[in-house]
Structure 1
Amino acid sequence: MAAVENGDRTTRADLVITGCTALVHGEDGRIDFADDAAVVVRGGVVDAVTTAAAVADLPATERIDGSGQVAMPGLVNCHTHSPMVALRGIAEDMPVEEWFNDWIWPIESNLTDSVVELGALLACAEMIRGGVTTFADHYFAMDKVAAAVTHSGLRANLGWAYFSGQGTEGRERSLDFALSANGSADGRITTSLAPHAPYTVDDEDLAATAELAREHGLPVHLHAAENKAQTDHSLERYGRTPIEVLERAGLLDTDLLIAHGTGITGRDLPVLRRATGRVAVATAPRGYLKFGWDTTPVRALAGLGVPVGLATDGAASNNTLDVWESMTLTVLVQKSTERDPAWLTARQALDHATAQSARAVGLGDRIGALAPGRRADVILVDLTGPHTRPVHDVAATLVHSARSSDVRTTVVDGKVLMRDRRLLTLDVPAVAAELDRELPALIRRRDGRRIQEYNA
C-alpha cells in the first residue's frame, strides 16, 4: 500500500477511515485485501490508502473507526429506472408482454413530475442504504431525477428515454437534457443519450442518435437483445439480430451501454469484437429469473474484453435496487448456466461490482477503486455479524454471506451520506408519505392509454 503522499503527516485531511480491511485492485482486475488499513480523503478524492499506524496522528476533520469492516469502492447500479420504485410489486407472475402492455405502460401514461422526483428520492435512499454510490438511470422527466440526485448526494449517469413514436421531439429532448445537465451536482451527474430499444426506436432514429453521440461526445444507454424472443423476432422481421441492428446504425462505434443482453447470440460475438466504441453490458439477473429468461452471457463477453456491470433494472420488475443481491445472483446463475463451479469466482464478482461497473458507465478513471486520485466513493461493510463469521476468505464472505444491510457507512465525493445505518441527506418517511398520496392517480389504468406498445 502507498504511504500518505509525500510523507504528509501534518496537513489536515477531510476524512480518515482507520482500522479497516481495504479492498484494493491489483493488475488485471485482481482483488486483494489489506488488513489494518486506512483511507485518507482530501478534496473529495482518495489521497492515500495506507496503514492505520501511518495516520494515527494525522489531523482530520472527520474520522471513522472501521474496525471489523471492509472499506471498498461504492457499488454501481449500471442500469435502473429509479422512479419505478413507485410501481414496486404492482404486476407480478406474468409474461413480459402482459407486464408491459396491460400494466406498466398504461400506468406510466399517468406519470407526473412529482411522482418521478419522489420515486427517484426513495430509490436514492434505498441505494445509499445498500452501498450504491453511482447509478445509471434511463427514464422520463430526467430533470426531476437530476434534482433527486443533487439532493441525495449520489453520483449518477442520467439519460432521458425516448421512443420513435414521439417523433423528433423525444430525441431532441434527450439531447437537450444531456447537454444541459452534464457536469451538474458539482460534477456528480454525467449524461447519456437514451433511445429506449431497437424495437421501439427505428433505424433512422438509431442512426441519428449515433451521429449526435459522435458530434457531442456523449455515450448512449439503451436496451437491446433483452431476451431470446426479441432476437428471434428481429431475425424474422429484419434478418438481423438487435446487436446487428445497432452495428448498422453506427451505435457500436460510440460509447454504448447495453442493458440486459440475455438474447446475445454466438453470431453477435464477432460483431461486438469489431466494435470501435467502448461497448459495455449491464446484467440484472433477478428480473431474468422472474421472467423466465436466459441470462447475460458474461463468460463470452469477458472473452471479448467487454465489461459487464451489475444492475437491478427498475423495482417494478426487480422489486429491489439491491446490487448486492445482483452480485450474488450473477455468481450463482453464471455457475449454473456454464455448468462450471470454478467460473465467476467471488473475486471476479467483486471486480464486476466495482471496476467493471465503473467502466460500464463511463467512469472507469474516476471511480471503481480505492486508489489515490479516484473520487472518494467508499462504503464500509460490517463483517462482525453471526451470518458472516468466521471469515476464512474475505471475498467469499462479501459475495456469499454479507448482505446489503451490512453496509454501515456510505461516502460519495468524500461526503458521508449514511453513517452507522443513519441516512444523513434524505427523510424516507416524509418522501414515502408524499408518494403514497400520489399513488391512487398514478396506478389507475384507463382503457386505450399506453405510453408505448410492447411488440418486440
Structure 2
Amino acid sequence: MAEPVDPAQPPHPADVADLVVEGCTVLAHDPDGTIRFLEDHTVVVRDGAVADVTPAARASDLPARERIDARGQLAMPGLINCHTHTPMTALRGIAEDMPVEEWFNDWIWPIESNLTEEVVELGALLACAEMIRGGVTAFADHYFAMDRVADAVVRSGLRAALGWTYFSGQGSEGRERSLDFALRRAGDADGRITTMLAPHAPYTVEDADLAATAELAREHGLPVHIHAAENRAQTDGSLERHGRTPVETLHRTGLLDVDLLVAHGTGLVGSDFEVLGRATGRIGFATAPKGHLKFGWDTTPIRALRSLGIPVGLATDGAASNNTLDVWESMTLTALVQKSAEKDPRWLTARQALDHATVQSAQVTGLGERAGALTPGRRADLILVDLTGPHVRPLHDVAAALVFSARSADVLTTIVDGRVLMRDRRLLTLDVDAVATELAQRLPKLTDRAHGRRIQDYDVGR
C-alpha cells in the first residue's frame, strides 16, 4: 500500500518544472500536421524540453522554479532562419539598388577581403541579438571564420546549424577547413550547435569539389548547405556553358543523394523538378523573398516543390542584401508573393505559411526531431507573442493575425532550450550597445575598397 503524501513536504525535484508558461493561447500541431490554437493553456518545461502542454487549470498548482504569466499572449515554436550570413550585419545597407553581379563584384566581395575574425564575431553577435528580438530561436549560417560565429551562438543562447563556406579558388584547403570545423564544433553549446559542409555554389565550386563534398558528407554523416539556382541567369549561364542546370549539377556530383539545404532556388526550371523527384537524400529549400524582390528575381516555386514532398523553410539571407534578419517579415512576404506568383489567392494560406515557418523550417535545417513544434519531448524553443495590440484586434482568425497583422516587435519573450533569452522585450544574454559600438570602430578598415581585391568573382557563365 502506497504511503500517503504529506502536503507539508516539499515536492520531489523530479516533480518540479524548470519553467511554466501559463494562461496563454498555444499554437499546436496535430500528428497529421494540422495547426490548432489551444486557448488558456500552459506549457511545462523540464530539462530544456517541452514536458507537457495542458489546460491552464490543470497546471495551476504545479511547482516550478520559474513562472511566466502569459495571459493575452500566444506561445508558438520559435522561428527558424533557414539561410543567412550573420556577420554580414556589418554591411547592412552598404550596397543598394543595383544588380547582383555589381553588388558582389564591386562591393561585397572586395569588402569581405578585409574581414577579420573580430568583425565576424561582432557581426554575428549583433545578428543574434536582432534574431532573439524577432522571435528567431535557431538559424542556419553559411559564412567564413565560423568558429567565431559558433562562439557568438554559445554566448547568445541561440540554436544554430553552421557551415564554413568555401570556393574552389581556395584549393583543397577550403574544403578541408569546412570539414574540420564541422567535426570539431558539432554538439557545442550543450548540443545547440549542429554543423554542415558549406560549398558556396555550383558557379564558384568545381564539379570535382562538389563530388568530394558529397563523399565527405556520406562518410561523416554531415548535411550540406549550398546556394543553387539562385536566379534564372545562373540557370541560363549553366545551360549555355555546361549543357545542364545547377540542379542537374547537384545530381551529377552526388549532392542530391545526401541531406542537402539549398538556398533560394528561384531559377528552377521544369526539368529540375523531375531530377529533384529522383533525389535519394533529404532535400530542403530556403526561400528569402525580400532579397529576391530587391534583386528583381523570381520567387522560389514552393507549390511545385511541395508537390514533390520537398520542405521549404523561411529565410532572410544576410542583412547586406535583406537589410533585416526578420523572419516574421519573410513569413508575410512568402504568403503574399506566392499568391501573386501563382495567381491564386487560396495559395499560400496563413496556416500554410505558419507550417513553413515552424515544422518545415525545422525539417530544412535538420532540426525536425528537436524543434518546430511545441510537442512533448522536443526542445523548449518557443516565443510569446502579444495579441493585445490594436493592429491585431479584433481577433477573428489567429492564423491570419499572426501572418498578416502581427510583427516581430510583438514578440515579448524568446526561450531556447528552456532558457529565457528575452523577457518582456529585454535581452538577457547580449548587450547590443556594447557590440554595436565596438563594431562601429572597425568599420572604416572593413569597408575600404581602394585595394582592388576580391575574395571571388561573380560570373555565372563559368
| TM-score in terms of structure 2 length | 0.96
- Asked whether 1:240 is paired with 2:240, we answer no
Task: Report deviation, 1:290.
Answer: 0.4
Letter in 2 for 1:397: A
Task: Report deviation, 1:448.
Answer: 2.8
| Among 207, 225, 229, the residue aligned to 2:229 | 225
Task: Report deviation, 1:266.
Answer: 1.0
| Among 317, 322, 327, the residue aligned to 2:331 | 327
Equivalences for residues 305-454 of structure 1 within 5 A: 305-454=309-458
- Asked whether 1:98 is paired with 2:99, we answer no
CA RMSD of superposed structures (Å)? 1.0
Asked if the contact 1:9/1:57 (under 8 Å) is kept, the reply is no
Q: Deviation string for 1:278-327 (max 9, x for gaps)? A: 00000000001000000000000000000000000000000000000000
Asked if the contact 1:334/1:343 (under 8 Å) is kept, the reply is yes
- For residues 13 and 353 of structure 2, the distance between their equivalents in structure 1, rounded to whole angstroms, comes to 36
- Asked whether 1:301 is paired with 2:305, we answer yes
Letter in 2 for 1:67: R
Letter in 2 for 1:214: R
Residue aligning to 2:166: 162
Letter in 2 for 1:87: L
- For residues 432 and 180 of structure 1, the distance between their equivalents in structure 2, rounded to whole angstroms, comes to 29
Task: Report deviation, 1:28.
Answer: 3.4
Residue aligning to 2:28: 24
Asked if the contact 1:9/1:58 (under 8 Å) is kept, the reply is no
- For residues 71 and 59 of structure 2, the distance between their equivalents in structure 1, rounded to whole angstroms, comes to 15
Q: Deviation string for 1:13-67 (max 9, x for gaps)? A: 0000011000000133211100001000000000000010011000000000111
Q: Secondary structure at the match of 1:145?
A: helix
Name structure 2 gaps, 5 residues minimum: 1-11
Residue aligning to 1:256: 260
- For residues 168 and 148 of structure 1, the distance between their equivalents in structure 2, rounded to whole angstroms, comes to 27
Letter in 2 for 1:350: L
Asked if the contact 1:89/1:316 (under 8 Å) is kept, the reply is yes
Residue aligning to 2:68: 64
Residue aligning to 1:110: 114
Residue aligning to 1:89: 93
Task: Report deviation, 1:446.
Answer: 2.6
Task: Report deviation, 1:260.
Answer: 0.2
Q: Deviation string for 1:198-225 (max 9, x for gaps)? A: 0000000000000000000000000000
Q: Give identity over the alignment, percent.
A: 76
- For residues 41 and 28 of structure 1, the distance between their equivalents in structure 2, rounded to whole angstroms, comes to 24
Q: Deviation string for 1:322-343 (max 9, x for gaps)? A: 0000000000000000000001
- For residues 10 and 149 of structure 1, the distance between their equivalents in structure 2, rounded to whole angstroms, comes to 29
Letter in 2 for 1:66: A
- For residues 28 and 118 of structure 1, the distance between their equivalents in structure 2, rounded to whole angstroms, comes to 42
Letter in 1 for 2:292: Y
- For residues 30 and 268 of structure 2, the distance between their equivalents in structure 1, rounded to whole angstroms, comes to 30
- For residues 29 and 348 of structure 1, the distance between their equivalents in structure 2, rounded to whole angstroms, comes to 10
| Among 123, 127, 134, the residue aligned to 2:127 | 123
Q: Secondary structure at the match of 2:66?
A: strand
Q: Secondary structure at the match of 1:138?
A: strand
Asked if the contact 1:191/1:218 (under 8 Å) is kept, the reply is yes
Q: Secondary structure at the match of 1:410?
A: strand
Task: Report deviation, 1:447.
Answer: 4.2
| Among 11, 19, 24, the residue aligned to 2:15 | 11
Q: Secondary structure at the match of 2:87?
A: helix
Asked if the contact 1:346/1:399 (under 8 Å) is kept, the reply is yes
Name structure 1 gaps, 5 residues minimum: 1-7
Q: Secondary structure at the match of 2:75?
A: strand
Task: Report deviation, 1:411.
Answer: 0.2
Residue aligning to 1:207: 211
Question: How many equivalent residue pairs?
Answer: 449
Q: Secondary structure at the match of 1:13?
A: coil
Which runs of at least 4 in structure 1 moved beyond 6 Å after TM superposition? none
